[in-house]
Amino acid sequence: MQSFGIYIIGDEILSGKRQDAHLSKVISLLSARGLSLNWAYFIGDSPSEITHHLKTSMTRGDVAFSFGGIGATPDDHTRQCAAEAAGVPIARHAGAVANIEARYGEGAYPKRVLMADFPQGCELIPNPVNQVAGFSIHQHYFVPGFPEMAHPMVEWVLDTYYSHLFHTRDYLEQAIVVTEAGESDLIDLMNDLLARYPTLKLFSLPRINQRRTTEVGLKGESLLVRQAISDLKAGVSALGYPWTDI
């Protein structure tokens, strides 16, 4: 399956001046379409770091959404970094210029039009709020940091380019809640399950309460998940711990 990831760019996120609003939203947008997020990175306003990460994910062939840094102020580096990562020059995009001129008229010059300088050969992502487009290149989609603009743009990308992937995976996630047991009490059972079902992913989420409660689950191919959960329940019962379905 195609790997999906996100970059959230800006010193303001790392310093706490602004709170991230993108990670949970992208997870929700993907999940609603039967897809999932494979990775996420938070990166400050460092051109070398941004370029390095973009080049890596472009080389892998991932689908990536990048939030922030596509404006025209000196702390916005994403457009230039994307061009460098893709190995192309920056060029003024005629369609993006037309959008900015339509929105701002003479006020497009001399500065706002700089937001039409994109990696050569890129495609535009329409912005439903102020018509200042984002752009895409090599399955990487660059949108503003403002959630009210960015999130509809991500939805547009998914529905325009990736609808053929919606709800096509044979995927299931199931879990149980085990009480009177901490994670350490279940490690041998978890390792045994992974040995028997190596293609599945196992997760363990302890809860801080009076009853030493642990949520344990598996995700992956539906038939195997059902088999593994059945084995998990039997194993937990054999250890003498109560459990309930989630």
DSSP for 159-217, written as a single string: HHH-GGGTT-S--EEEEEEE-S--HHHHHHHHHHHHHH-TTSEEEEEEE-STT-EEEEE
pLDDT, mean of residues 108-119: 97
Contacts of residue 205, defined as CB under 8 A and 6 or more positions apart, other chains included, come to 214, 215, 216
Three-class secondary structure of residue 72 per DSSP: coil
* Percentage of residues of the chain with pLDDT beyond 90: 98
Looking at residue 211, its pLDDT comes to 85
- Pairwise CA distance, residues 115 & 38, whole Å: 30
Nearest 5°: the CA angle 12, 22, 16 is: 25
Whether the per-residue pLDDT at 233 is higher than 80: the answer is: yes
Give residue 186's identity as a one-letter amino acid code. L
What are the CA-CA distances from residue 218 to residues 53, 91, 189, 241 (Å)?
30, 47, 13, 19
Whether the per-residue pLDDT at 1 is higher than 80: the answer is: no
Supply 8's token pair: 């959230």
Whether the per-residue pLDDT at 70 is higher than 90: the answer is: yes
Give residue 23's identity as a one-letter amino acid code. L
Looking at residue 49, its pLDDT comes to 98
210 — pLDDT class (breaks 50, 70, 90): confident
pTM of the model: 0.90
Q: How many CB atoms lie within 10 A of CB 113?
A: 17
Are the CB atoms for 202 and 216 separated by under 8 Å? yes
Whether the per-residue pLDDT at 145 is higher than 90: the answer is: yes
Whether the per-residue pLDDT at 164 is higher than 90: the answer is: yes
Query: CATH code for 4-165?
Result: 3.40.980.10
174 — pLDDT class (breaks 50, 70, 90): very high
Looking at residue 9, its pLDDT comes to 98
- Pairwise CA distance, residues 20 & 182, whole Å: 32
209 — pLDDT class (breaks 50, 70, 90): confident
Peptide bond before residue 110 is cis, with ω within 30 degrees of 0: yes
Location of each CATH 3.40.980.10 domain in the chain: 4-165
225 — pLDDT class (breaks 50, 70, 90): very high
Nearest to 46 by CA among 75, 67, 8, 18: 75
Location of each CATH 3.30.70.260 domain in the chain: 172-245
- Pairwise CA distance, residues 242 & 239, whole Å: 9
Supply 63's token pair: 């689908």
Secondary-structure class of domain 172-245 per CATH = alpha beta
137 — pLDDT class (breaks 50, 70, 90): very high
Q: How far is CA 219 from the centre of its chain?
A: 18
Q: What is the pLDDT of residues 83-108, one digit of tens each?
A: 999 999 999 999 999 999 999 999 99
Instruction: Classify residue 110 by its DSSP letter.
Output: T
Indicate the average pLDDT of the chain.
97
